[in-house]
Amino acid sequence: MREYMPGSHRRFLSLFSDLPNLRDLVALSRGNKHHQELWEAYRQATRSLTGLRTKHLSIPNNQEELYGTGATLLILFLKQARDKTN
């Protein structure tokens, strides 16, 4: 999918690909007195992102089959992105 993005977007995302997984970093804070607060903030962020992706799914659901630039069925791609968020 990145090959279809503008170069500046690809470079921005590549900065994150070299970093540790955010969920793993949050989990490392266990034992810290602020861990529960950090974990709840992380969970709220993932719930919000899941909600956004669920609303996004209503767009192709109301139309005939739509395909992305990589010939992927759009509804399947969006469902996969949402499910990976959880």
pLDDT at 48: 94
Q: Decide if pLDDT at 68 tops 70.
A: no
CA distances to 29, 37, 61 from 45, rounded to whole Å, are 17, 12, 25
The predicted model scores a pTM of: 0.59
pLDDT at 69: 65
38 close to 46: Cβ distance less than 8 angstroms: no
Dump pLDDT digits (tens) for 28-58: 888 888 899 999 999 999 999 988 888 877 7
pLDDT at 64: 66
So where are the chain's domains?
A: 22-85
Q: Decide if pLDDT at 61 tops 70.
A: no
Q: Decide if pLDDT at 59 tops 80.
A: no
CA distances to 21, 65, 70 from 79, rounded to whole Å, are 21, 14, 16
Residue 56 counted as an annotated binding residue: yes
